[in-house]
A and B are shown apart, each in its own frame.
Chain A
Amino acid sequence: MKYVDEFRDPDMAKRVLERIHAVVEEIPVTRDRPLQIMEVCGGHTHSIFRYGLEELLPDKIEMVHGPGCPVCVLPMGRVDDCVAIAEQPDVIFTTFGDAMRVPGSRKSLQQANSDGCDVRMVYSPMDALDIARKNPHKNVVFFGLGFETTMPSTALTLLQADREGITNFSLFCNHITIIPTIKAILDSPDMVIDGFLGPGHVSMVIGSAPYEFIAGHYKRPLVIAGFEPLDILQSMLMVVEQIKAGRAQVENQYKRIVPEQGNSNALKAVGEVFELREFFEWRGLGSIDHSGVRIREKYARFDAERIFAVEPAHVADPKACQCGEVLKGVLKPWECKLFGEQCNPETPIGALMVSTEGACSAYYSYGKIDIRQAV
């Protein structure tokens, strides 16, 4: 496929890997401990496991799999809210497929569907709007979740519904923002991250400027990375070269997609429809200030939270669950007491076992479970 195959060339990957190995050997700190590099985005986590990149990197680099899997960090209480809305009469609840299996405290959306609710998977929020057009006597709710990558699509869909005067469409807004979460991880006292692979597709919307504080204040390098194996390896090389040279800068490996200033049309739509919440609850990480958005008063008639009078209920994460520690890189997935036994992809207990973009699920699915026995 054009613009994909070029970035999967195994010979080229081998050379870049050799270069990474050579550069890491010249970083003095790696004599005492491995470098901890966090890939923020769940899409990167998925690629890293799919292509077995972690195995190919030097032992002196440890990947820390970050919080950028929106399905994984969705708190149980929000899933309960989705189910409660889906259970209302005359509701068609629409969602991206990823969210179907996320466990709530009572049931998942998939179970709600089996129990008779009308829950439908859609590829695009525009498809949900189309369902609303075709079902004028039903209330069609779209479950808006995801980071800045996905926010413009739901904002533009809502604006389209507004232009057409559609009255039976609403958005259950659970969008989250990545910057406050990276900051929370950097402020955590047990934080040990040496550098970051920045989220490529979030960055195509927000640009590179919002990350400057990571380099400026926290003195950590961040390289905005694409999603193909060569993108990830080249970005990793750029991170370790910065560490070797004692630099901390925001660099952009994914320039073919990510303009420095982001996407002004997308940001305009997002700003028109959404405003920051004071705080938002994350599975595994707890409440993080200004880490989510809600629909502005102006568009209240499209806000499922207001229409269905949802009072966000706090449901505690399961007690033995150690997703928070794994997200911060303090624990490896297999070091969690629940990993592989009570908590597995079929019956996930913790956030990171839910989606294929979650670190625990990736370790489990790609055969890394044996590592647990080896430790």
Chain B
Amino acid sequence: MCLGIPGQIVSITDEALQTGVVQVSGVKREANLSCVVPADGNLQSLVGSWALVHVGFAMSIIDEEEVQRTLQILAEIGELQEELDAMQHGA
């Protein structure tokens, strides 16, 4: 029910209604962008951004830096575990 799916904002349809077109896995559909309108109100600046789409509403702009940071942490967990394994087997 609370699930969302990443989609790319490809165009703005209506500035007043705050709607645009998002593309999710190749499928395009109209979405409401009210929740992700930037502080300066410039909707056009959203084109190209990726957002989490839930029931036809873009709910959060995906933070690319945080994506990389999370993947980096995961990689480090993997490396740590590998090192521990090596220590154990080497002992």
Contacts and interface: CB of A to CB of B under 8 A. Distances in A.
Interface in B1-27: 1-4, 6, 8, 17, 25
A98 B60 CA distance: 23
Interface string A256-276: 111100010110010000000
Interface string A188-225: 00000000000111101100000000000000000000
A124 B74 contact: no
A126 B34 contact: no
Contacts of A227: 3
Contacts of A146: 1-2
Given A227-B3, A234-B74, A3 B67 contact: yes
B2 A201 contact: yes
Contacts of B66: 255-256
B1 A263 contact: no
B22 to A, nearest CB: 12
Given A6-B67, A234-B74, A259 B32 contact: no
A234 B70 CA distance: 9
A3 B61 CA distance: 12
B57 A124 contact: yes
Given A22-B84, A201-B59, A150 B70 contact: no
B49 to A, nearest CB: 12
A35 interface: no
A123 B2 contact: no
A19 B77 contact: yes
B56 interface: yes
B34 A156 contact: yes
Contact of A16 (B55, B74, B84): B74
B2 A43 contact: yes
Given A4-B6, A237-B77, A256-B67, A126 B32 contact: yes
Contacts of B71: 6
Contact of B35 (A2, A147, A265): A265
A202 B2 contact: yes
Contact of B54 (A15, A19, A150): A150
Contacts of A42: 1-2
Interface in B67-91: 67, 69-71, 73-75, 77-78, 80-82, 84-85
A205 B32 contact: no
A67 interface: no
Contacts of B78: 11-12, 15-16
B74 A71 contact: no
A69 to B, nearest CB: 6
B32 A70 contact: no
A332 to B, nearest CB: 23
B66 to A, nearest CB: 4
Contacts of B54: 149-150, 153, 201
A234 B73 contact: yes
B3 A43 contact: yes
A201 B4 contact: yes
Interface in A67-103: 68-71, 96, 98
Contact of A153 (B37, B56, B82): B56
Contacts of A170: none
Given A149-B54, A263-B35, A22 B1 contact: no
B1 A150 contact: yes
Given A41-B2, A149-B54, 13 more contacts: A3-B62, A12-B75, A16-B81, A19-B80, A71-B1, A96-B1, A125-B56, A153-B32, A153-B56, A156-B35, A234-B70, A255-B63, A357-B1
Interface of A: 1-4, 6, 11-12, 15-16, 18-19, 22, 41-43, 46, 68-71, 96, 98, 123-127, 145-147, 149-150, 152-153, 156, 160, 199-202, 204-205, 227, 230, 234, 237, 253, 255-259, 263, 265-266, 269, 355, 357
Interface of B: 1-4, 6, 8, 17, 25, 30, 32, 34-37, 50, 52, 54-57, 59-60, 62-64, 66-67, 69-71, 73-75, 77-78, 80-82, 84-85
6 contacts: A4-B6, A18-B85, A96-B55, A156-B34, A204-B59, A227-B3
